[in-house]
Amino acid sequence: MSLQQSLHDVMGHCYYLSETNWYNVVVFVFLTAEYENAKNSLNQISLWDHIIPDKEHANLQLEVKSRYPLIDQGSSLRGKKVQLVLHWYVMPNAGAMTQDQMALSEFKLPDAYTS
């Protein structure tokens, strides 16, 4: 599934949750790279984020370029499996905030590389 299709699905989900009150909703979406190492079972690196202020801005047509570098302290990313995960928070003006996520793809980083 492409990021574009995933964002479309997320916005459909958010629209469904707040069908009659879109003017009261802001959606925060962000993309993380997630991996495990010896110290932590879950490490997350934020790669991209976007605030969707209203329904008119919900149909994103974009080519995502990482806003933030894929780096880690030390060399614990070498040879690791990394999963890209799309997260979103639906934030109404009043009431409970909801959140969800969707795994997009997985890849393995090389055992050796230069920065």
How confident is the prediction along the chain (115 residues), in pLDDT tens digits per residue?
555 555 656 666 555 545 545 556 788 889 899 998 888 888 888 888 888 877 777 766 666 666 777 777 766 788 889 999 989 888 887 778 888 898 988 999 888 876 6
Residue 100: inside a domain:
yes
For residue 96, the enclosing domain spans: 3-71+78-108
CB 6 within 8 A of CB 102: yes
pTM of the model: 0.74
Residue 92: inside a domain:
yes
Residue 91: inside a domain:
yes
Residue 115: inside a domain:
no
CB 19 within 8 A of CB 6: no
What per-residue confidence (pLDDT) applies to 37? Answer: 82
